[in-house]
A and B are shown apart, each in its own frame.
Chain A
Amino acid sequence: MDILDFLFGWLEKTDPKAIVLGFSAIGAGFAMMAGIGPGIGQGFAAGKAAEAVGNNPKGGKQATLVMLLGAAVAETSGIFSLVVAIIMLFANPLVGRMGTSIGGTNAVGTALILAACALGAGLAMIAGIGPGIGQGYAAGKGSEAVGKRPKLQSTVLRTMLLGQAVAQTTGIYALIIALLLLFVNVFA
């Protein structure tokens, strides 16, 4: 009994649909790990905003607005991951693709590939940790700056949002790869 039989023999004896759905569950779980990022980032932003309000209560309203705006941007990575997870749980696109043969393989092979696509999609969404942390840091520094000089709110906001947009890019790449894996037959 060679190593492939040992590692994957159970796959042939299992219902292909169960394989795909089982790995979709694991993928959904991995995707939600992205929640780490916004948690850290928004927490930092909250702390910096609280500090800013404490230092200058007169600028409190502007500092709080900047914090909430920046925190909303940081939240997006968590939402993307939640959407991917909910799609995999409630509107699983992979079971629909099980009829076709992927990469010219048999039914078990197709199920294996689709299961791996679910796993890969979930793993890709872990990238959301990064923008969550980074954009939250930017939100914190932005509200700190606005707390010090509330009149500069729009200038600081513009710079902060520009930087946050750049930081978002890798999260979007990961979302694209995840959606490709779920919905598109990438393997010719």
Chain B
Amino acid sequence: MIDGRALILACSAIGAGLAMIAGIGPGIGQGFAAGKGAEAVGRQPGAQADVIRTMLLGAAVAETTGIYGLIVAIILLFANPLISTYEKGL
């Protein structure tokens, strides 16, 4: 007999893994920003500090959805709310 708890925890593990797939996006986007930054610095080496500042600012914004995915995964692994809901109903 499969315990309900076991099913919930197993699906939470799979869900945590699926959530991390969101990391694809910032990886692609921040890499694009890095490339364009390198191109800009190649064209105007004097503007390196400004270029880097803008690049990092934009990359920080791009990082956010990756962080959301990480938060959901960590919640599923370490502070699973579904188990408490399940056990409250029992």
A residues near B (Cβ < 8 Å) are: 4, 8, 11-12, 37, 41, 77, 102-106, 108-110, 112-113, 115-117, 119-124, 126-142, 144-146, 148-149, 152, 155-156, 158-160, 162-164, 166-171, 173-174, 177-178, 180-181, 186-187
- Other than A116-B12, A163-B37, A173-B66, give 17 A-B pairs with Cβ distance below 8 A: A12-B1, A108-B3, A109-B2, A112-B6, A113-B10, A115-B10, A119-B14, A120-B18, A129-B27, A131-B27, A142-B39, A155-B48, A160-B37, A163-B30, A163-B33, A169-B63, A173-B23
Contacts of B25 in A (CB 8 A): 130, 170
- A-B contacts, 12 of them at CB < 8 A, read A4-B7, A8-B7, A116-B13, A120-B13, A120-B16, A124-B18, A137-B35, A138-B38, A145-B38, A162-B52, A163-B34, A174-B20
Chain B interface main SS type: helix
**Which residues of chain A are within 8 angstroms of B6 by Cβ–Cβ distance?**
102-103, 105-106, 108-110, 112-113
Query: Which residue from A132, A152, A181 sits with its C-beta under 8 Å from B13?
Result: A181
User: Nearest A residue to B41 by beta-carbon distance?
Assistant: A159
The answer for the CA separation of A177 and B67 in the assembled complex, in Å, is 12
Residue in contact with A177 in the complex, picked from B5, B32, B43, B70, CB distance below 8 Å? B70
A140 near B24: Cβ-Cβ < 8 Å: no
**Lowest 4 CB-CB distances: which A-B pairs, in order?**
A134-B31, A163-B34, A130-B27, A145-B42
List of B residues within 8 angstroms of A117 by Cβ? 13
Among A137, A152, A180, max chain B CB count under 10 A is at: A137
Interface size on B, residues (CB 8 A): 57
